[in-house]
Amino acid sequence: MLSQKTRYSIRALQHLADHVGTGPVPLGEIAEKQRIPKKFLTVLLSEMGRSGLVSAQRGRDGGYWLAKDPTEISYGDIVRLTRGSLALVPCASRWAYESCTSCVDEEGCRLRMVMLTVRDATADILDGLTLADDFKAFAADKRIPALSVGNNVTAEQH
């Protein structure tokens, strides 16, 4: 699962992407519009500043803006920077590899092979989508179906 931190960060960046060219956006506005706790968001935006995703200006009329063009910031980048890895298991990360504790045989580990494949598929998607992408077109293209709300799942739905 993605942490709140990652999710808040993505929403904040999307907000900034939607306001490119309109000058610095103050933290208070992002917090309010995106329903993110203000004080928490200061921490997140600071980190994103340090990692080069956003720039900021202090003082009157200050605020935040994207440090790069929205086409240059992919969802993969954001997840890597805020979460450390795209993978579901540290030994299947290509960006932040860590060997498993309590692993019996990493070379032959089937779990790791599966998870490497998943991580590559995930990367294909997340690295191919940027903050600039048009999600209405994207959704139509992928034909994302509506979700059945609740937990009423049938055997076939696995």
Dihedral sign, Cα of residue 136, residue 144, residue 116, residue 13: positive
Chain positions 24 to 63 lying near its own copies, rule: CB under 8 A, are: 33-36
Per CB under 7 A, the list member of 12, 64, 79, 81 interacting with DNA is: 64
Task: Output 109 or 133, the one with its CB closest to DNA.
Answer: 109
Residue 12 sits in the site that holds DNA (CB under 7 A): no
Q: Are 9 and 50 in contact (CB under 8 A)?
A: no
Q: How many helices (H) and strands (E) does the chain have?
A: 6, 2
Q: How far is the CB of 110 from DNA (least distance, A)?
A: 19
Per CB under 7 A, the list member of 50, 72, 135, 142 interacting with DNA is: 50
Residues in the chain: 158
Residue 50 contact among DNA, its own copies, none, beta carbon within 5 to 8 Å by kind: DNA
CA of 96: how far to CAs of 69, 77, 91, in Å?
25, 13, 8
Residue 61 contact among its own copies, DNA, none, beta carbon within 5 to 8 Å by kind: DNA
